[in-house]
């Protein structure tokens, strides 16, 4: 909608701006709305902000009069006691943000399965989808990144022919650049977005299946049942994250997750990224967020942002610096 006075109540919107309001199919029970609300919140972040603000103001949105909340017990009664839902603010005591590689998932799965699959299928993917809008956007992002790499003398970067060049010429140069990026394990959005689209095909064809450590499913289930909201923050795209957790050897684990963050939020080794996450989660203090990772630099950045931090010790992980000062665990069952 547009040209409505009420739009000005949404931060960043004015009278003449366009406000998109998603329509969500209703369900018999509130807890069944979790997935659709989560998807809507990912696309329309102001909805999540509005829900958080309503709760903070003590407004009960469950009554026709939208009157004040009389008690926490009243709010909890909205949810079925038989089906705990970790994605409701009323049940929230703390948030957990998880890294993937080396934390929930073996590094070997990423390096020996996921990366090679993307590398081996990049040419096929680009060739078969070259004229699609999605791939055009992927190529646009890659061009921008490659131009920046060439200016900065990044090894392996080669020029991409202009749009008027033949399809084969463009694809050949893109494949060369992507293979170099994968080999260097670069954490850049253009690469991660393309990889996510390639992996989607792999999961759809059952050529890929997500792998997590055996203690992860139970931990996710327990946190969820305790009202703790669990999020993922990985250098892999949000789509890739959803694919991995939606197609694991333990089944679909996405029902235990409330959201996903990737490099569009920021570099995982920069404190600013964790500040952005804390703002998105709507906590009163960053210390209410527990971040679990295997990378010391990420742990340090999160700690500087005020997060509670634990470092994951898993087989194949890189050694930590001496006297790093962080609590470590070898299994989520220790948390």
Over residues 116-125, the mean pLDDT reads: 94
Over residues 303-318, the mean pLDDT reads: 96
Residue 124 predicted with pLDDT over 80:
yes
Over residues 268-283, the mean pLDDT reads: 93
Over residues 269-288, the mean pLDDT reads: 93
pLDDT band for position 26 (50/70/90)? confident
Residue 31 predicted with pLDDT over 70:
no
- Over residues 186-222, the pLDDT tens digits come to 988 899 899 989 999 999 999 999 999 999 999 999 9
Q: How do the domains of the chain map onto residue ranges?
A: 5-80, 95-106+210-334, 107-204
Structure tokens at 198: 């390639």
Structure tokens at 296: 């010391």
More confident residue, 301 or 49: 301
Residue 266 predicted with pLDDT over 60:
yes
pLDDT band for position 93 (50/70/90)? very low
Q: Does the domain made of 107-204 have the CATH classification 3.30.365.10?
A: no
More confident residue, 317 or 28: 317
Q: Do domains 95-106+210-334 and 107-204 have the same CATH topology?
A: no
Structure tokens at 141: 């992002």
Indicate the pTM of the whole model: 0.66
Looking at residue 136, its pLDDT comes to 94
Looking at residue 163, its pLDDT comes to 83
Average pLDDT value over all residues in the chain: 83
Residue 265 predicted with pLDDT over 90:
yes
Residue 11 predicted with pLDDT over 70:
no
Q: Are 211 and 245 in contact (CB under 8 A)?
A: no
Over residues 142-152, the mean pLDDT reads: 95
Instruction: Give me the half-sphere count of Cα atoms (radius 13 Å) on the Cβ side of residue 219.
Output: 18
Looking at residue 185, its pLDDT comes to 87
When mean pLDDT is compared across 41-55, 157-171, 309-323, the lowest value belongs to 41-55
Confirm whether 5 is a catalytic residue.
yes
Q: Residue length, the chain? A: 335
Looking at residue 48, its pLDDT comes to 62
Residue 51 predicted with pLDDT over 60:
yes
Residue 289 predicted with pLDDT over 90:
yes
Looking at residue 296, its pLDDT comes to 97
Over residues 76-98, the mean pLDDT reads: 50
User: Which residues have CB under 8 Å from 234's CB, separation 6+?
Assistant: 99, 100, 101, 240, 241, 260, 261, 262
Over residues 227-244, the mean pLDDT reads: 92
Over residues 80-98, the mean pLDDT reads: 53
Looking at residue 47, its pLDDT comes to 61
More confident residue, 293 or 28: 293
Q: Which of 5, 25, 65, 82 is catalytic?
A: 5
- Fold (CATH) for 95-106+210-334: Rossmann fold (3.40.50)
Residue 20 predicted with pLDDT over 80:
no
Q: What angle do CA 149, 151, 153 make, to 5 degrees?
A: 65
Q: Over pLDDT 70: what percentage of the chain?
A: 74
């Amino acid at each position: 909608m547009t040209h409505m006075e009420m739009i000005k109540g949404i931060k960043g919107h004015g009278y003449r701006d366009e406000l998109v309001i998603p329509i969500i199919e209703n369900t018999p029970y509130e807890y069944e709305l979790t997935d659709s609300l989560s998807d809507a919140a990912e696309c329309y972040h102001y909805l999540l902000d509005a829900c958080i603000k309503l709760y903070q103001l003590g407004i009960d949105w469950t009554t026709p009069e939208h009157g004040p909340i009389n008690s926490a017990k009243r709010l909890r009664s909205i949810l079925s006691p038989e089906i705990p839902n970790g994605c409701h603010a009323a049940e929230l005591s703390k948030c957990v943000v998880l890294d993937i590689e080396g934390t929930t998932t073996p590094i070997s799965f990423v390096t020996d399965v996921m990366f090679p699959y993307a590398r081996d299928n990049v040419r096929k993917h680009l060739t078969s989808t070259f004229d699609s809008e999605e791939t055009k956007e992927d190529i646009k992002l890659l061009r921008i990144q490659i131009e920046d790499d060439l200016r900065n003398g990044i090894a392996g970067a080669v020029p991409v022919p202009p749009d008027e060049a033949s399809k084969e010429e463009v694809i050949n140069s893109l494949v060369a650049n992507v293979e170099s990026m994968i080999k260097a394990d670069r954490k850049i959005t253009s690469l991660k977005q393309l990889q996510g689209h390639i992996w989607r095909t792999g999961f759809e064809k059952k050529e890929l299946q997500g792998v997590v450590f055996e203690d992860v499913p139970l931990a996710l289930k327990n946190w969820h049942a305790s009202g703790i909201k669990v999020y993922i923050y990985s250098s892999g795209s949000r789509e890739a994250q959803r694919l991995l957790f939606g197609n694991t050897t333990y089944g679909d684990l996405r029902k235990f997750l409330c959201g996903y963050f990737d490099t569009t939020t920021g570099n995982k080794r920069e404190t600013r990224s964790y500040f952005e996450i804390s703002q998105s989660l709507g906590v009163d203090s960053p210390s209410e967020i527990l971040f679990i990772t295997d990378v010391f630099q990420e742990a340090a950045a999160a700690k500087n942002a005020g997060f509670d931090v634990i470092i994951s010790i898993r087989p194949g992980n890189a050694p930590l610096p001496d006297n790093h000062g962080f609590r470590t665990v070898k299994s989520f069952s220790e948390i």
